[in-house]
Amino acid sequence: MSNFKDKVAVITGGASGVGYAIGAALAKEGAKVVLSDIESSALESAKANLEKDGLRVDIKQADVSDHDSMVALNKFVTSEVGDVQMLFNNAGVAPAELQSIWDTNPNDWNWAYGVNVMGIVHGLQAFIPDMLSHGKEANVINTCSGNGAFINLPSTPIYTSSKAAVSSISEVLKLQLDQSESNIKVSILFPGPHTVRTNLFSAERNRPDELARDPNAPEHPISSVEDMVDMMKSMGVEMETTTPEEVADFCLTELSEGKYWINPANEKSEQAFKDRVDSILSRGDLPNPNIF
């Protein structure tokens, strides 16, 4: 998609972080942006902040883990804004993981999978039929993570496995749409190349009561990217970070070139991926991924 002007773009998880930054970047390009998020107050603040910069966006509260909520979002956008040509399935959460898989609580899995995996599925089911019907140039962009798609960090089994599912869903979706010679292109976004400064680590604020965290589970020492930076520094590692605005600029550049893999280069992560693939092809032992 070489020109974003007047394209209707829907972005879930759009009230902050990468979603917000992509919305701002698209609005600057003249796109008709609809930001969606589970947090209504954060959406209102996002809209107000963008308007201060002279950027116009529409907003609509929606819960990606709820199929009917996503169907309602699609109906709102198509009736009030226009035919959707860009769908950014961007909403995601990261549960506070400190336990082994066998000690985790089912609620942790159900919450993370409900947003990270079923949120993608619900977005596709709610929007793709109409995107196919209108026949205009269109693109679906699923936000993923190298942690899950390329390597599997042992410290985050729930998040990692959910993003592995996103990678598989995205690849199958692309192949199905290509085989049907549809008007829809698919891209998969890997925010980076370093840990992105977002609110992902504080996603527990939006966790539903019925999927509450085990009150007896150990408290996680990391609630922000700054916490992670400080922890790594105490271990003698200077951790690099990436801003959401850098992710958004890279994403739009890659989309304009029709890329499927929107994945910035990171030497250490790529080496960890190569080590994993080598172990598969050689039938050798699985290495512990070292990305720092």
Distance (Å, whole) CA 100 – CA 30: 47
Task: List CB contacts of 153: < 8 A, sequence separation 6 or more.
Answer: 147, 160, 289, 291
- Quick check: is 20 catalytic? no
Name the helix (H) or strand (E) containing 45. Answer: helix 40-52
Q: Which of 161, 221, 225 is nearest to 196 (CA)?
A: 225
Of 20, 113, 159, 260, which residue is the catalytic one? 159
Q: What type of residue is 123?
A: G
Supply 84's token pair: 């959707």
Distance (Å, whole) CA 221 – CA 223: 7
Residue 181, Cβ density class (10 Å: 0-12 exposed, 13-18 middle, ≥19 buried): exposed
Query: What b/e string do you get for 27-63 counting C-beta neighbours within 10 Å, with b at 16 or more?
Result: bbbebbbbbbbbbeebbeebbeebeeeebebbbbbbb
- What DSSP state is assigned to residue 84? E
Distance (Å, whole) CA 264 – CA 48: 31
Q: Which of 85, 19, 7 is nearest to 50 (CA)?
A: 19
Residues facing 9 on adjacent strands: 33, 86
Distance (Å, whole) CA 88 – CA 26: 12
Catalytic residue list: 159
